[in-house]
Structure formats: C-alpha cells, structure tokens
Amino acid sequence: MKMKDLMDLTMAELLVKSRDLRQELFNLQLQKVNAQLEKPHKFKQIRRDIARIETRISQLRKAEAQKAKQS
C-alpha cells in the first residue's frame, strides 16, 4: 500500500484498515508460533502499512487541531 492510496481515505476508513491490518498481523504471529507460516515476508509489509496508516491518521488529527485553533 502506497501513501498516495491513503491520502484519499477518511479517518474512519483509515481506522478500519488499521484494525484489519493489526488483526492480520496477529494471525500471522499465531501461524508463526504454530510453525504454519508460509509467507514470513508479510510481517515486514504489514508493519510498514500500519505505520503508514498511523502516520496519515496523525497528519489528519494535526490538521483538525490547527483548523480548530484558527477558528
């Protein structure tokens, strides 16, 4: 997932996507513990996607705070 894709999403959509990715990461960790993990490279990819989403969420919150401060 690219940052460009995240720029068009709303706060609610970002929060849902973040929750889904965290659930997927949890499932991968369970697979790893049970020695059933087929794609270990997914850990890195999902962690980075979560970080991108959290960055975008903080950007939106900061913009909202500045907008409220100016009003």
Domain-located, residue 31:
no
First-to-last C-alpha distance (Å) of the chain: 35
Q: What is the pLDDT of residues 37-66, one digit of tens each?
A: 899 999 999 999 999 999 999 999 999 999
CB 24 within 8 A of CB 49: no
Q: Where does the pLDDT of residue 70 fall: very low under 50, low under 70, confident under 90, or very high at 90 and above? A: confident
**Which single residue is written with the structure tokens 């490279």?**
41
Domain-located, residue 34:
no
Domain-located, residue 12:
no
Retrieve residue 19's tokens.
């929750």
Distance CA 39, CA 33 (A): 13
Range of the domain at 44: 39-65
Distance CA 50, CA 19 (A): 9
pLDDT at 71 over 90: no
Domain-located, residue 57:
yes
Number of structural domains the chain divides into:
1
Retrieve residue 31's tokens.
């697979």
